[in-house]
């Protein structure tokens, strides 16, 4: 039995888009980290007595929502990949 790898034919424009997609993913992770950083800063400011509770709660809620969205997107991506890998060729 001989097995050959499936290599899709991509147009030249799609081949150059791969590095930017990797950069986009990195950018999303950086943005998510920034949201958590703002939440931590707001909580630390409240704890130090220079910030207010409303800002700390708001920033923490934003970070929780961002984490939930990122987790849901990762799970959907993993499910889609699993479906593709389970396909019989």
Please give the model's pTM, rounded to 2 decimal places: 0.65
Instruction: Label residue 39 exposed, middle or buried (CB < 10 Å: 0-12, 13-18, 19+).
Output: buried
Domains contained in the chain, number:
1
Domain membership of residue 53 (yes or no) is yes
In tens digits, what is the pLDDT along the chain, a chain of 89 residues? Answer: 566 666 666 666 555 545 556 678 788 888 999 999 999 999 999 999 999 999 999 999 999 999 999 999 999 999 999 999 998 87
Compute CA 58 distance to the chain's CA centroid, rounded to the nearest angstrom: 21
pLDDT for 89: 73
Domain membership of residue 49 (yes or no) is yes
Domain membership of residue 22 (yes or no) is no
In three-state secondary structure terms, 31 is: helix
Cβ–Cβ under 8 Å, residues 63 and 36: yes
Rounded to whole angstroms, what are the CA distances from 47 to 38, 39, 44, 53, 62? Answer: 14, 12, 5, 9, 19
* Residue 87 tokens, joined: 């396909």
User: What is the span of the domain harbouring residue 78?
Assistant: 27-86
pLDDT for 13: 59
Domain membership of residue 13 (yes or no) is no
């Amino acid at each position: 039995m001989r097995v050959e790898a499936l290599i899709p034919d991509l147009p030249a424009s799609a081949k150059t888009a791969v590095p930017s997609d990797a950069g986009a993913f990195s950018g999303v992770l950086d943005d998510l980290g920034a949201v958590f950083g703002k939440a931590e800063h707001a909580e630390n400011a409240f704890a130090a007595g220079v910030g207010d509770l409303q800002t700390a709660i708001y920033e923490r809620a934003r970070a929780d929502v961002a984490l939930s969205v990122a987790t849901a997107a990762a799970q959907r991506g993993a499910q889609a990949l699993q479906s593709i890998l389970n396909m019989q060729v």
